[in-house]
Homo-oligomer: A and B are copies of this chain.
């Protein structure tokens, strides 16, 4: 139930999209606390009136739109790996994709920033994050089930708990990376998580 676009023409919709993407860029670079609507205006070659025309709710509504935008990118960036976790090789490819993704975007989790900043003022943000986590975990769980159905791991593995732990490890690895600049923890979390699945198996490899 995201914003039914405020624009009614193709040109309008293009402008609106440009604003969201540009805002996302600026927010990544400067950080939310230091980003003003004027920065967004400059970056997107728009005017104040356009910002408020397409986002009548002002800054909050714009930030919410950016949050949706960023959330949608998270899982997209892990495709197609995330939906094909059916062999050990595919799991490691996914791990590499995740690590690389977060190493590239310097040292930030735009969505996390947004969430913290808007916080409880905008209930919508929370819903976006919750839904993202749910989907992410679900896909990981599906991957574990795929391993199980191929008998690479025993049926006794607690799928949901393992998926939850793996997801937590990723989140924590990313947030530690934000402060230390090192992806070591993210890597460690992913590697031990996968290792745990592997050693739960009876037959090696």
Taking beta carbons and an 8 Å cutoff, which residues of A are in contact with B?
Answer: 31, 33-34, 112-113, 115-121, 126, 129-130, 133, 161-162, 164-165, 167-176, 178-180, 184-186, 188-189, 191-193, 195-196, 199-200
Contact = CB atoms under 8 A, between A and B. Distances in A.
A175 B185 contact: no
A97 to B, nearest CB: 18
21 contacts: A31-B119, A33-B117, A33-B118, A116-B178, A117-B117, A126-B179, A133-B176, A164-B185, A164-B189, A165-B185, A165-B192, A165-B193, A167-B176, A168-B169, A168-B170, A168-B173, A168-B176, A169-B189, A172-B172, A172-B175, A192-B193
Given A129-B179, A168-B189, A195-B196, 11 more contacts: A112-B175, A115-B178, A116-B116, A130-B180, A164-B184, A168-B172, A169-B189, A171-B175, A171-B176, A172-B175, A192-B196
A33 B172 contact: no
